[in-house]
Chains A and B, each alone.
Chain A
Amino acid sequence: EVQLVESGGGLVQPGGSLRLSCAASGFSFSSVWMAWVRQAPGKGLEWVANIKGDGNEKYYIDSLKGRFTISRDNAKSSLYLEMSGLRVDDTAVYYCAKGFGTDRWGQGTLVTVSS
């Protein structure tokens, strides 16, 4: 059974940094694209970034302007999202998702950016 478990969310001040993690199991992690998708409170879904199985291709939504970095450790079956220069409008539930078409999702981790 595919399992995706996010961690690392919490309360951070504007301008701060945070690292999200996603522990994956139940599938061949190194073979698949992985993604982060976020959802601001009461809003719709916004794709953030994805990374190819071997880590050699990465794509980001333009609006992030280099503040976020996606990475993975295939030996640990883990996906990461390094977030810096956080803004109030980065407040959201961040989901880890499997596949280029995001066919499995974790439960999400809440990131709150507030002073």
Chain B
Amino acid sequence: DIVMTQSPDSLAVSLGERATINCKSSQSLLSSSNNQNFLAWFQQKPGQPPKPLIYWASTRESGVPDRFSGSGSGTDFTLSISTLQAEDVAIYYCQQYYSVPITFGQGTRLEIK
């Protein structure tokens, strides 16, 4: 199974500042067939289902603000929020969909400093 490890477990950032969450996979998520990384990011607020933010490691879902961006390739990935807004307080998860079982990182809790 591919193990997904996020860092940090929790993060406190001031409003308007940049937040960065890291995700590392135990094996490469880069497919030679389409040259894409099978990595997604989700945002979950209390009492709500996870909301997809990013797929193919760097493609934003429709309607996701452009302050959210994804980067990385192979085994190391990053979710960045350029200017933190109050509504971005949530838990963020990375997910690999390269192979089954599909696996998630343990989550990173983002709070306002």
**Residues in chain A near residue B55, CB distance under 8 A:** 101, 103
A68 to chain B, nearest CB (A): 13
Mark each residue of chain A from 42 to 56: 1 if its CB lies under 8 Å from any CB of chain B, else 0: 001111001000000
Q: Assess the B49–A95 pair: CB atoms within 8 A.
A: yes
| Contact indicator A35/B102 (Cβ below 8 Å) | yes
Looking at the complex, which one of A60, A62, A100, A107 makes contact with B97 (CB distance below 8 Å)?
A: A100
- The interface residues of chain B lying within 8 Å CB-to-CB of A100 are 97, 102
Residues on B with C-beta less than 8 A from A107 are 49
Q: How far is the CA of A100 from the CA of B97 in the complex (A)?
A: 7
Which residues of chain B are near A50, meaning CB under 8 Å?
A: 100, 102
A102 CA to B39 CA, complexed, in Å: 11
Contacts of B100 in A (CB 8 A): 50, 59
- A98 nearest CB across to chain B (Å): 10
- Contacts of A57-97 to chain B: CB distance below 8 A: 59-62, 95
Contact B107 A101 (CB under 8 A): no
Kindly state whether residue A14 has any CB partner on chain B within 8 Å.
no
| B residues less than 8 Å from A47 (CB atoms) | 101-104
Residue total for A at the interface (Cβ-Cβ under 8 A):
20
**8 A Cβ contacts from B15-70 to A:** 38, 40, 42, 44, 49-52, 55, 61
Bound complex: CA A106 to CA B1 (Å): 26
* Chain A contact residues, CB within 8 Å of chain B: 35, 44-47, 50, 59-62, 95, 100-108
13 further interface pairs, Cβ-Cβ under 8 Å (given A60-B101, A103-B40, A103-B52): A46-B104, A47-B101, A59-B100, A62-B1, A100-B97, A101-B38, A101-B55, A101-B102, A102-B102, A103-B55, A105-B49, A105-B52, A106-B49
Sampled A-B contacts (29; CB under 8 Å): A35-B102, A44-B105, A44-B107, A45-B104, A46-B104, A47-B103, A47-B104, A50-B100, A59-B101, A60-B101, A61-B101, A62-B1, A95-B50, A100-B97, A101-B40, A101-B95, A101-B102, A102-B40, A102-B95, A102-B102, A103-B40, A103-B55, A103-B61, A104-B52, A105-B51, A105-B52, A106-B49, A107-B49, A108-B49
